Structure 1
Amino acid sequence: MRKDIDLAEFQEALQKRLEAIESGQADKKDDTAPLELDQARTGRLSRMDAMQQKAMSRAASRLAEQERRRIYKALERMKDGDYGYCVNCDEEIAEGRLRFDPSVATCIECARKAEK
């Protein structure tokens, strides 16, 4: 377990972000409902706009779900005493990188390798 970082601070940041994601997803339940395409009620451009908005909403929901999973994994690593260490090479993750994204699981070197 790392002693050089304030785990409580990172845990609080993760919990706040998780709450924000979960409340945002609850607010967007209507965005996942099937789109009604009634030509008598809506013009062609309005339907296309609605379809585009729905696609954008679904993409945002997928990204939020991915972030939620990363946060849960980070909280699990905290419980296990592995938080702040790279899941690939087991080196310490820089504190600045954790401050930018407390759910990050890899050090900068492993992240660079994964991009290639």
Structure 2
Amino acid sequence: MKQTHIQHFKKQLLSLEAELMECLGLTSESSKAVELDQARMGRVSRGDAMQQQAMVSAAHQRDEKHLVKVRKALKRIDDDDYGFCLECGEDITMKRLDVAPETELCLDCQSLLEQRQKRQP
């Protein structure tokens, strides 16, 4: 892979990292415990608040996992291992990296992984 392509993906990854870090900082306020004072908040409102809190928590966990993948990709760039499938060692296509610059697997290995995961209970 050309150095210009690597720099392009590094720029994308750094931007994505900053965006995720900002999102993670903003969602921490929304994940505070729901008040139990039903005089101030009715049952339906409290239930809605708890549901919203659960959704925020799930989004927070998803963003944390995504941030880890982005940082691993940046590390692979620093180690000159970026753009190679971690499973088979083949090049990951530019098209795939354009869609998800943090990807670790080529399309074939990703498909095999998903098939194995479907078979597991």
Same-fold status (TM-score > 0.5)? yes
Equivalent residue for 2:44? 45
Matches within 5 A, 1:90-101: 90-101=89-100
- Counterpart code for 1:81: D
What residue number does 2:119 align with?
none
Contact 1:85 1:92 (8 Å CA) reproduced: yes
Counterpart mapping for 1:55-70 below 5 A: 55-70=54-69
Task: Tell me the distance in 2 between the aligned counterparts of 1:93 and 1:4.
Answer: 15
AA of the residue aligned to 1:25: L
Q: Distance in 1 between matches of 2:103 and 2:23?
A: 21
Unaligned stretches of 5+ residues in structure 1: none
* Cα RMSD for the two superposed structures: 1.2
Please give the TM-score of this superposition, normalised by the length of structure 1: 0.95
Structure 1 runs of 4+ with >4 Å offset: none
Structure 2 unaligned spans of 5+: 116-121
Would you say 1:113 and 2:112 are equivalent positions? Answer: yes
- In 1, the alpha carbon distance for the partners of 2:91 and 2:3 equals 10
- Give 1:68 shift: 0.1
**In structure 1, what residue type is equivalent to 2:91?**
E
Per-residue Cα deviation, 1:27-73 (whole angstroms, up to 9, x for no partner): 12212211112111110100000000000000000110011000000
1:4 & 1:54 partners in 2: Cα distance?
A: 43
Give me the whole-angstrom Cα distance separating, in 2, the residues matched to 1:50 and 1:57: 10
For residue 78 of structure 1, what is the aligned residue in structure 2?
A: 77
Question: How far off its partner does 1:5 sit?
Answer: 6.2
Map of 2:9 onto structure 1: 10
Q: Shift of the alpha carbon at 1:82?
A: 0.6
**TM-score (structure 2 length as normaliser):** 0.91
User: How far apart in 1 are the matches of 2:12 and 2:59?
Assistant: 21
